[in-house]
Chains A and B, each alone.
Chain A
Amino acid sequence: MLDFAQRWVKLRRDRRVVWAATIALVLLLVLLPFVTDWAVGRTWVRIAAFVLLYMMLALGLNIVVGYAGLLDLGYVAFFAVGAYFYALLASPHFDLHLPFWLLLPAGAAVACIFGVLLGAPTLRLRGDYLAIVTLGFGEIIRIFLLNLNAPINITNGPQGVNLIDPIRLGGLSLAHTHTVLGFTFPAVYNYYYLFLALTFAVIFVSVRLEDSRIGRAWAAIREDEVAAAAMGINTRDMKLLAFAMGASFGGVSGGLFAGFQGFVSPESFTIIESIMILCMVVLGGMGHIPGVVLGAVLLVVLPEALRYLGPLQQILFGRVLADPADLRLLVFGLALILVMLLRPSGLWPSALRRRELAAGGGAAADGRA
């Protein structure tokens, strides 16, 4: 057992192995649409694209919750801001059709500003008070989006914005099927690859942030804000920066979502979405990028996979005992409970967290670590 552990650690440190694993992973991700489409159908390619969108959202929330330790229950507001920004400026609504390469960074910047605006009043708040205020902000933004259609029609209210321009990269519309080198790339694949590229960028930024002065300042604030301030960290600026960075990821994801779906309405940006994104971060492993990635994958895939409870019952029992639509969310809730009971620090926590839990566990350790 110990021998394997030592060999594993050696493997992880071996440069060549790491390179080979990375290349294999990248290759797998690039081939994923083709393999998935062939194996289980195009639905799962679309789900994969949503996984990537949510991954960006979860990574953004990870900065606020995981790195800086600020409980944010209204994160979906930034997703909404990014989506509506793109939607309003690239659709028949105002009859503006600004290009993608301009709108996406601008949307991220606008979301950044909102992040600072939302963060500013919360600086003195702790824990659950912060949670309720961020929740309030999330709702405020949604209600404004829902109602700013009178007296001047800004957001088109509950009807939503339709016929949003698909994303165009260098003259090529992602919404059309393209054939390159004998391979066909339908619209879903194109979007998948765009999302994949941006997800890599987001992961890269997250990794660099974590391992920087800013990241360490956030960790200090998370662990003990008073001590951090005593050490000379400008907690106010750092917290605002956390909100801003997290919000910008949300804005990017939102813009991509609007172009992908072609239609946005306030119904997509409810509290339940914020809660789901939070679940992804915590379930996966707060503050740990691979964990958050895993959390996003699981929480997007699981409810969709559970749609097949019908055929599964058919195979197991010969007939459908309970309507899958009835059971789907019930099983999902049970899964959430089970995972948190079995692995309270997340499915893939950072080594630091695992040690923390094991050390402070005391009475409740129960063989977890």
Chain B
Amino acid sequence: MDIFLQQLVNGIVLGSIYALVALGYTMVYGILGLINFAHGEVVMIGAMVALTVIQLLVGSGIALPGPLIAALGLLIAMPVCMALGYAIERVAYRPLRAAPRLAALITAIGVSIVLQNAAMLVWGRQYHAFPALLPAAPHTLAGATVNDLQIFIVLLSAAIMAGLLALVHRTRLGRAMRATSQNPEVAGLMGVNVNTVISITFVIGSALAAVAGIMVAAYYGIAHYFMGFMLGLKAFTAAVLGGIGNLAGAMLGGLLLGVIESLGAGYIGPLTGGFLGSHYQDVFAFVVLILVLVFRPSGLLGEQVAERS
């Protein structure tokens, strides 16, 4: 029984990480209907930029507390990612707003490839160890070990989700965002500067990506130019699972995906009498996803929108 609790804890933390990245995906999708394939790479760039800053600080010998160094890393990584997100939107997506949806998807793929290879050129091909800066004191809870950093990640993603929900539902900007996502033309008629709102959404999403990047790198202790790809894919899956375009859905989807993967890895073996094992954990996750979508075609919290012509 105690490994069940541990697996659950593992899953929730993993899921919070997915949620952090999925929130950015879902924000952009909500407003543009675009799967921003490049989001995973922006996360990676956030991690790499933060890494460079942190390596400089640590190497300079100035004695600063770990969390402060991490915060400084974030402070520099965020504007970089925001600028990057803004640039991507202006250069690659805005011109294609009226184009077929798939055109923007292919462009997003192109941007993703460019960012990956640019990062490879700048930071090299090797894996970079991210210094252990954040407190990770372990605690035992009914047989399961969980440390400070893990708790922080779960709380952070919940806080970010709450912040975003407040932004979208309680502010004028949020109202403008909702209006734009429902009907950009009418929103424009109502006085919303659609281009600005979309840019701001991208910028916020990219800022989130920087946070996610640092948290992933700090949690796993690694940064690598290829790390964005798998992460982006998992986050996209999580966002769809929860209902893409829905912020709470991204959080829920992320958590659910993390838990399913953890429990799957843990229990597929015993469940199938040893026939299948942890090598099928991704299959397990996808099967659950497919089952959910079969019964709820718009995701768990997605709106059941009737097909409008």
A residues engaging B (CB < 8 A)? 65, 71, 121, 124-129, 131-133, 135-137, 139-140, 143-144, 146-147, 151, 224-227, 271, 275, 278-279, 282-283, 286, 326-327, 329-330, 332-337, 340-341, 344-346, 353, 357, 360-366
A138 to B97, CA, bound (A): 29
Q: In angstroms, how far is the closest chain A Cβ from the Cβ of B44?
A: 14
Within 8 A of A (CB), among B274-305: 275, 279-280, 282-283, 286-287, 289-290, 293-294, 297-299
Whether the Cβ atoms of A225 and B106 lie closer than 8 Å is no
Whether the Cβ atoms of B289 and A133 lie closer than 8 Å is yes
Whether the Cβ atoms of B99 and A357 lie closer than 8 Å is yes
- Chain A positions within 8 Å of B116 at CB level: 329, 333
- Chain A positions within 8 Å of B294 at CB level: 121, 124
Whether the Cβ atoms of B297 and A333 lie closer than 8 Å is no
Picked from B109, B112, B240, the residue with its CB within 8 Å of the CB of A128 is B240
- Chain A positions within 8 Å of B289 at CB level: 132-133, 136
A121 to B286, CA, bound (A): 13
Within 8 A of A (CB), among B65-112: 92, 95-107, 109-112
B236 beta carbon closer than 8 Å to chain A: yes
Picked from B104, B236, B309, the residue with its CB within 8 Å of the CB of A132 is B236
Whether the Cβ atoms of B279 and A147 lie closer than 8 Å is yes
Whether the Cβ atoms of A337 and B118 lie closer than 8 Å is no
Whether the Cβ atoms of B106 and A333 lie closer than 8 Å is no
Whether the Cβ atoms of B283 and A144 lie closer than 8 Å is yes
B16 beta carbon closer than 8 Å to chain A: no
Q: In angstroms, how far is the closest chain A Cβ from the Cβ of B222?
A: 21
A140 to B281, CA, bound (A): 10
Whether the Cβ atoms of A282 and B102 lie closer than 8 Å is yes
A279 to B113, CA, bound (A): 13
Picked from A151, A333, A365, the residue with its CB within 8 Å of the CB of B110 is A333
Whether the Cβ atoms of A129 and B307 lie closer than 8 Å is no
Whether the Cβ atoms of B95 and A129 lie closer than 8 Å is no
Whether the Cβ atoms of A129 and B103 lie closer than 8 Å is no
A-B pairs with beta carbons under 8 Å apart, 24 shown: A71-B102, A126-B307, A127-B101, A128-B35, A128-B244, A129-B299, A132-B289, A139-B286, A143-B283, A151-B275, A224-B309, A327-B117, A329-B117, A333-B109, A333-B113, A334-B114, A337-B114, A340-B96, A341-B92, A344-B103, A345-B100, A357-B98, A364-B97, A366-B95
Residue of B nearest to A141 (CB): B283
B121 beta carbon closer than 8 Å to chain A: yes
Whether the Cβ atoms of A147 and B309 lie closer than 8 Å is no
A128 to B293, CA, bound (A): 11
Whether the Cβ atoms of B297 and A124 lie closer than 8 Å is yes
- Chain A positions within 8 Å of B286 at CB level: 136-137, 139-140
Whether the Cβ atoms of A333 and B117 lie closer than 8 Å is yes
Do most interface residues of chain B lie in helix, strand or loop, or is the interface mixed? helix
- Chain B positions within 8 Å of A333 at CB level: 109-114, 116-117
B233 beta carbon closer than 8 Å to chain A: yes
- Chain A positions within 8 Å of B117 at CB level: 326-327, 329-330, 333
Whether the Cβ atoms of A143 and B102 lie closer than 8 Å is no
Inter-chain pairs besides A140-B286, A329-B116, 13 sampled, C-beta below 8 Å:
A124-B297, A129-B240, A132-B237, A271-B233, A283-B106, A330-B121, A333-B109, A333-B111, A333-B114, A336-B106, A337-B111, A344-B95, A345-B100
Closest 8 CB pairs of A and B: A333-B113, A336-B110, A344-B99, A136-B286, A364-B98, A333-B114, A337-B110, A330-B117
Q: In angstroms, how far is the closest chain B Cβ from the Cβ of A102?
A: 31
A127 to B307, CA, bound (A): 12
- Chain A positions within 8 Å of B129 at CB level: none
Per-position contact with A for B9-50: 1 when CB-CB < 8 Å, else 0? 000000000000000000001000001000000000000000
A70 to B116, CA, bound (A): 28
A169 to B289, CA, bound (A): 44
Residue of B nearest to A280 (CB): B106
A224 to B29, CA, bound (A): 22
Whether the Cβ atoms of B35 and A337 lie closer than 8 Å is no
- Among the interface residues B120, B286, B287, which one has the most CB atoms of the partner chain A within 10 A? B286
A136 to B29, CA, bound (A): 20
- Chain A positions within 8 Å of B298 at CB level: 129
- Chain A positions within 8 Å of B118 at CB level: 330
Whether the Cβ atoms of B92 and A133 lie closer than 8 Å is no
Whether the Cβ atoms of B98 and A362 lie closer than 8 Å is yes
Residue of A nearest to B306 (CB): A226
Whether the Cβ atoms of A341 and B95 lie closer than 8 Å is yes
A317 to B111, CA, bound (A): 28
Q: In angstroms, how far is the closest chain A Cβ from the Cβ of B249?
A: 12
Residue of B nearest to A361 (CB): B98
